[in-house]
Amino acid sequence: MWVAILLLGAACHTPPPGRLVGDDYVPVTELDVAAATAMLQGQARIVGTAVAKERDTPWTGINLSTGHDAQPGTVVMLFPRTRYFDEYLALREEYGARAQISAEAFALRREVRVGDEGAFEVANLGPGEFYLEAVVAYVQETAEDVQTGVQYTTIQGSNPHYSWQHVEETPIYTTVYGSYLASRLVQGFVTIGPEDDVVHVKLRN
C-alpha cells in the first residue's frame, strides 16, 4: 500500500509549462516588456546583503552552518518578476541549465556589485516585485583524519599450563587540513510598494 502511494505521487508530477527549442526549454508566456520596463523606473531603492551558508538544512529558517559574506565585486542581478520570468524560474528548477530566457528578457535587468561585508544597493526602481540573485564564492575549509601509520603492541601472558604472545595493530591517524573554492547561488524576492522608499533584503541560499 505504501509503495502504491509513492508511485501515485510520482505519477502526478506535472512539469512546468515550457516550449522546447532545440535542447532548451523557454517560457510560453509572452514577455510584457512595458510592465517590466516600468518596474525599472522610479525612486525606490533595495538595500541588502548577500551571504552564503556552507550547507542547507531541512528546517525552514534555520541554518546553523558557517556563513560567508559575498566578496567585494560579486555581481548581484535583479529582474522584474513578471509571469514570463516566473515561468523561467520554474523551468530552471525543473530542467537546470536547459532553461533559457530570451535576450530581450535578459536585457531587462539591473546589475550591481557588492561592497564590504556583502552589502549592495539597487536604486531607481518602481513599485512591483523583483527577483535577485548572486553567486557567492568562498573558501571551504576541510579537515580529514588520514591513516598515516600503524602502532604494534606485543601482548604476552602465561599460566601454569602454557604461555602466549600476540601482536595488536592500532592505526595511527593524522588530521590533514585543506581548503577549496566553493560557491552557492543566493536568491530572494522583494516587493516594493507604491509608498516605499527603501526596502531591505538578505539574499541567502
Is there a contact between 203 and 75 (Cβ–Cβ < 8 Å)?
A: no
- Total number of domains in the chain: 1
The number of C-alpha atoms within 13 Å of 52 and in the hemisphere containing its C-beta is 19
Q: How far apart are CA 163 and CA 133, in angstroms?
A: 73
Task: Look at residue 5 in the predicted model and tell me its pLDDT.
Answer: 43
The 3-state DSSP class for residue 30 equals coil
| pLDDT of 196 over the 70 cut | yes
Give tens-digit pLDDT for 3-31. Answer: 444 444 445 668 788 889 899 999 999 99
CATH of the domain at 100: 2.60.40.1120
Is there a contact between 192 and 130 (Cβ–Cβ < 8 Å)?
A: yes
- Among the listed residues 122, 137, 149, the one whose alpha carbon sits nearest the alpha carbon of residue 179: 137
| pLDDT of 51 over the 50 cut | yes
- The residue segments making up the domain with residue 196 are 17-136+187-203
Q: Is 57 exposed, middle or buried (0-12, 13-18, 19+ CB in 10 A)?
A: exposed
> Is residue 38 included in any domain, yes or no?
yes
Angle at 91 between CA 46 and CA 37, to 5 degrees: 40
Is there a contact between 88 and 14 (Cβ–Cβ < 8 Å)?
A: no
Give tens-digit pLDDT for 122-175. Answer: 999 999 999 999 999 988 777 788 888 888 888 887 777 788 788 888 898 888
> Is residue 159 included in any domain, yes or no?
no
Q: How far apart are CA 32 and CA 142, in angstroms?
A: 47
Task: Look at residue 64 in the predicted model and tell me its pLDDT.
Answer: 55
> Is residue 150 included in any domain, yes or no?
no
> Is residue 72 included in any domain, yes or no?
yes
Is there a contact between 40 and 108 (Cβ–Cβ < 8 Å)?
A: yes
> Is residue 128 included in any domain, yes or no?
yes
Query: Which cell is 129 given?
Result: 516585485
- Alpha helices (runs of H) in the chain, residue ranges in sequence order: 2-11, 33-39, 83-95, 103-107
> Is residue 120 included in any domain, yes or no?
yes
Task: Look at residue 57 in the predicted model and tell me its pLDDT.
Answer: 57
Q: How far apart are CA 62 and CA 152, in angstroms?
A: 47
> Is residue 151 included in any domain, yes or no?
no
**What's the pLDDT band for 117 if we cut at 50, 70, 90?**
very high
Is there a contact between 108 and 38 (Cβ–Cβ < 8 Å)?
A: no
> Is residue 60 included in any domain, yes or no?
yes
